[in-house]
Amino acid sequence: MKPKSIKVIVPATVSNVGPGFDIMGFAINTPIEEMVLRLIDKPGIKISRVTGDKNGLPLDIKKNTATVALKHMISMLNINLGIELEIRKKIISGSGLGSSAASAVAAPFALNELLGKPFSKHELMEFALLGEKIASGSIHADNVAPCLFGGFILIRGYNPTDIVQLSSPKNLYCTILHPQFEIKTSEARKLIKRNYSLKDVITQTGNAAGLVTGILKSDYKLIKRSLNDLIAEPARAKLIPGFYEIKNAAMESGAIGCSISGSGPAIFAFSTSEKDGRKIGSVMKKVSSKYFKKSNVYVSSINTDGPKVIG
């Protein structure tokens, strides 16, 4: 008999990665989110239980990224399904760590596995993007794509979504400082300027190209020179009290780059060993304690697996 329920895990993601606004993202190993999807007799989709971050997560199936993505998937399948979701939210909503993308990826991935993989990962990505759009008000794949494929992803273009998976540098570690407050991506996107000078476009393009090359060649010095952003970071830094002080402290402790993760408030910093990553994390936390009562620190290698079935 075919199983009627499945449990999956999906990774958190860091999007933008400095100069790659809307075009770069990567997956990390912690935090990881869990979802259980069950087939039930009564047709329709419902969320039966949420544990973890109950406050930030819309339970209305028209507003939840998981259920919206599932609805699009089911309409393509053209079958009448009854589905119940249990979400174990470990990636906090509004953290800048791809929480809405994780839900939007987990649900279609889980259903696809349960049904014997009728869709390719590229097709699942399109359902997940429609789910993600509900949360952020726009289509951007820089969380969804790395969450689904793992590793570093370059989004070469949209319409159609053209993604390129980059090989991940072996010794790259990511430290995350997550101050415990929420920034809504839809609001943070409104802060981004619409027009840039030619000089800024040249600088940003050079840095984005340098970052991709640095990642492909495991050239950490090139990654460090390239991790400068003229679009999202200057516009959003004011949303994170003490951001530049925390960033400077991370760089002085040996980080090879530091910026806002997605639309924040999480801040990421790169290093080349877990030990350095932990040292950078404790310095970032210490400096940030002047501004935030509560913050979490994660140190992780790059997640190259994407979602996994665990039960």
Query: Which residues are known to be catalytic?
Result: 132, 185
Question: Which lies closer to ligand HSE via its Cβ, residue 111 or residue 155?
Answer: 155
Q: Of 57-65, 85-93, 140-148, 272-280, which part binds ligand HSE (CB under 6 A)?
A: 140-148
Size of the site for ligand HSE (CB under 6 A): 13
* 263 is a contact residue toward ligand HSE (CB under 6 A): yes
Q: Of 15-23, 43-51, 57-65, 73-81, which part binds ligand HSE (CB under 6 A)?
A: 15-23
Q: Of 16-24, 208-216, 218-226, 244-252, which part binds ligand HSE (CB under 6 A)?
A: 16-24
Question: Which lies closer to ligand HSE via its Cβ, residue 21 or residue 119?
Answer: 21
- Closest C-alpha among 3, 16, 12 to residue 235: 16
Question: Least distance to ligand HSE from the beta carbon of 246, Å?
Answer: 18
Question: Least distance to ligand HSE from the beta carbon of 145, Å?
Answer: 11
* 143 is a contact residue toward ligand HSE (CB under 6 A): yes
- List C-alpha distances in Å: 220 to 117, 152, 228, 272, 301: 38, 15, 14, 8, 15
- List C-alpha distances in Å: 254 to 12, 14, 52, 129, 269: 24, 20, 33, 36, 10
> What is the b/e burial string over 16-55, where b = at least 16 CB atoms within 10 angstroms of the residue's CB?
bbbbbbbbbbbbbbbbbbbbbbbbeeeeebebeebebbee
Restricted to residues 73-102, the positions that interact with ligand HSE (CB under 6 A) are none
Place of tokens 């492909």: 216
* 140 is a contact residue toward ligand HSE (CB under 6 A): yes
Q: Of 32-40, 183-191, 217-225, 248-256, which part binds ligand HSE (CB under 6 A)?
A: 183-191
Residue 2, phi-psi category: left (phi > 0), alpha (psi -120 to 50), beta (remainder) = beta
- Name the percent of the chain in helix, strand, coil, to the closest 5: 35, 25, 35
According to DSSP, residue 281 is labeled: H
Q: How far is residue 236's CA from residue 265's CA, in Å, rounded to a whole number?
A: 9
* 242 is a contact residue toward ligand HSE (CB under 6 A): no
Question: Which lies closer to ligand HSE via its Cβ, residue 96 or residue 277?
Answer: 96
* 225 is a contact residue toward ligand HSE (CB under 6 A): no
The answer for residues whose C-beta is within 8 angstroms of residue 36's C-beta and 6 or more apart is: 5, 6, 7, 85, 86, 88, 110, 311
Question: Least distance to ligand HSE from the beta carbon of 147, Å?
Answer: 11
Number of Cβ atoms within 10 Å of the Cβ of 298: 19
* 11 is a contact residue toward ligand HSE (CB under 6 A): no
Question: Least distance to ligand HSE from the beta carbon of 82, Å?
Answer: 32
Q: Strands 24-40 and 152-157: what pairing? A: antiparallel
Site string for ligand HSE, 22-61 (x = CB under 6 A): x---------------------------------------
* 264 is a contact residue toward ligand HSE (CB under 6 A): no
Interface residues with ligand HSE (CB under 6 A) are: 15-16, 21-22, 140, 142-143, 185, 188-189, 232, 262-263
